[in-house]
């Protein structure tokens, strides 16, 4: 057990055709956790060879679960969670394959947990997500006035226990919380898994803590630019399949948790308005993506999950 991980912290990384960022991630992660479980979702032989090379280098501290086909992100996370709990984890760290933790990220998260007034109420802790530009990082979303959600940036050293939701990648979860709350929603496949988990955590009475001193570099997506009315508009986009899963699962989350968290409904209404405006104004393949959105909304209203080819 390393000096920066005084408790049994086990990391779970889901991979599918990872690039070289995974090598950097494992180098940074290995000195911060007791064990790493990589769950690969059907990558090619070259990727498997890379993963097995890392397994040989790290020995028993790195374990592989190799799925023959893509099981979806949530199902793969659940495989890793089961393995980590079986290994006696005290804390579980969830990571995407393109997320690189700072060298002190886990110690900062554990320190925040140790200094929190009510550690038994911790649902999970989240770092600040930044991209490779080294900017201020992504904002957090916390309880605002009334039932609203406020968007702001956590200061260095600040801890906010009122987050409304947080990304799964980089979150540090007490093992007992996963035993109580249950697994990730496997039939979501991808997208909105972390929203659903966040709201289940909060509905059980636990808190989501944002930790301003804990940092995670995360690939936030490729930015495109297009001229609209003479102005350059920057935007990130998703292909049709992702538009389908985003809208299907956001409808399912809104139906499952919207009454308990009405501020989220208002937040999503604004997000949907902005997304559709961006799609219609600047994105390519408009009809294909709109068709995927309509199918996604319909399937969400009917409770459909799993993989669907669009």
CATH (domain of 44): 3.90.550.10
Residues 236 and 296 in one domain: yes
Buried b (16+ CB within 10 A) or exposed e, 96-129: bbbbbbbeebbbbbbbbbeebeeeeebbbbbbbb
Q: Are both 176 and 272 inside the same structural domain?
A: no
> Looking at beta carbons, which pairs linking 62-67 to residues 24 or more positions away fall under 8 Å?
62/26, 62/30, 62/35, 62/36, 62/38, 63/35, 63/36, 63/37, 63/38, 64/37, 64/38, 64/40, 65/37, 65/38, 65/39, 65/40, 66/40, 67/39, 67/40, 67/41, 67/42
Residue 4 lies in a domain: no
Residue 279 scores a pLDDT above 70: yes
pLDDT at site 143 = 81
User: Do both 75 and 149 map to the same domain?
Assistant: yes
Tell me what percent of the residues of the chain surpass a pLDDT of 70.
91
The H or E element spanning position 296 is helix 286-301
Judge if 35 and 129 occupy the same domain.
yes
The predicted pLDDT at position 220 comes to 64
If one counts every other C-beta atom within 10 angstroms of the C-beta of residue 54, the result is: 17
Tokens of 276: 């559709």
Using the 3D structure, point to which of 218, 247, 270 is the last residue of a domain: 218
Is residue 209 within 8 Å of residue 92, measured between CB atoms? no
- The predicted structure's pLDDT at residue 135: 60
Last residue of a domain, one of 188, 218, 248: 218
**For residue 36, is it within any domain?**
yes
- Tell me how far apart the alpha carbons of residues 236 and 275 are, in angstroms, rounded to a whole number: 10
Res 5 pLDDT > 50: no
Q: What is the pLDDT of residue 52?
A: 98
By three-state DSSP, how is residue 33 classified?
A: coil
pLDDT for the residue numbered 205: 98
Examine the domain organization and report whether 195 and 288 are in the same domain.
no
Per-residue model confidence as pLDDT tens digits over 107-140: 999 999 999 999 999 999 999 999 766 566 789 9
Question: Cα Rg for the chain, rounded, in angstroms?
Answer: 19
Whether residues 265 and 148 share a domain: the answer is no
Tell me, rounded to whole angstroms, the distance of Cα 257 from its chain centroid.
18
Report the pLDDT averaged over residues 156-172: 97
Q: To which H or E segment does residue 95 belong?
A: strand 91-96
Q: Are residues 37 and 168 in the same domain?
A: yes
Residues 199, 74 share a domain: yes
159-188 average pLDDT score = 98
**Chain mean pLDDT for the chain:** 93
Instruction: Out of 167, 193, 218, pick the residue that ends a domain.
Output: 218
Say whether both 13 and 148 belong to one domain. Answer: yes
Q: What is the pLDDT of residues 52-93, one digit of tens each?
A: 999 999 999 999 999 999 999 999 999 999 999 999 999 999
Q: Which pLDDT score, from 0 to 100, does residue 4 have? A: 45
Does residue 274 carry a pLDDT above 90?
yes
| Together in a domain, 283 and 255 | yes
What whole-number distance in Å separates Cα of residue 184 and Cα of residue 193?
Answer: 7
Q: Supply the pLDDT for residue 2.
A: 43
Split into its structural domains, the chain has a count of 2
* H-state helical runs in 204-261: 240-257
Listed range (43-52, 158-167, 277-286) with the worst mean pLDDT: 277-286
Shared-domain flag, residues 157 and 230: no
Question: Is it the case that residue 226 has pLDDT exceeding 90?
Answer: no
Question: Out of 14-23, 35-44, 142-151, 291-300, which region has the weakest mean confidence (pLDDT)?
Answer: 142-151
Evaluate if residue 156 carries a pLDDT over 50: yes
């Amino acid at each position: 057990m390393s000096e920066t991980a005084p408790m049994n912290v086990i990391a779970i990384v889901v991979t599918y055709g990872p690039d070289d960022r995974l090598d950097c991630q494992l180098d940074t992660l290995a000195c911060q956790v007791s064990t790493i479980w990589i769950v690969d979702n059907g990558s090619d032989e070259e990727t498997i060879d890379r993963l097995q090379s890392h397994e040989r280098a790290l020995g028993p501290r790195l374990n592989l679960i190799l799925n023959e086909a893509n099981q979806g992100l949530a199902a793969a996370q659940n495989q890793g969670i089961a393995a980590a709990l079986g290994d006696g984890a005290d804390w579980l760290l969830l990571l995407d394959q393109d997320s690189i933790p700072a060298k002190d990220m886990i110690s900062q998260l554990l320190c925040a947990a140790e200094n929190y007034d009510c550690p038994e109420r911790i649902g999970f802790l989240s770092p600040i997500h930044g991209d490779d530009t080294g900017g201020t990082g992504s904002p957090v979303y916390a309880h605002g006035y009334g039932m609203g959600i406020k968007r702001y940036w956590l200061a260095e050293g600040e801890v906010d226990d009122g987050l409304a939701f947080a990304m799964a990648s980089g979150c540090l979860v007490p093992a007992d919380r996963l035993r109580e709350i249950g697994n990730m929603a496997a039939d979501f496949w991808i997208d909105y898994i972390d929203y659903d988990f966040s709201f289940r955590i909060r509905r059980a009475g636990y808190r989501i803590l944002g930790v301003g001193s804990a940092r995670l570099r995360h690939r936030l997506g490729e930015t495109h630019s297009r001229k609209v009315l003479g102005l350059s508009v920057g935007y990130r986009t998703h292909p049709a399949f992702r538009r389908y899963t985003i809208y299907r699962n956001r409808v399912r989350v809104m139906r499952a948790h919207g009454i308990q968290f009405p501020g989220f409904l208002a937040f999503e209404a604004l997000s949907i308005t902005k997304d559709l405006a961006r799609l219609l104004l600047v994105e390519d393949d408009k009809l294909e993506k709109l068709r995927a959105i309509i199918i996604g909304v319909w399937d969400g209203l009917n409770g459909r999950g799993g993989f669907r080819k669009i």
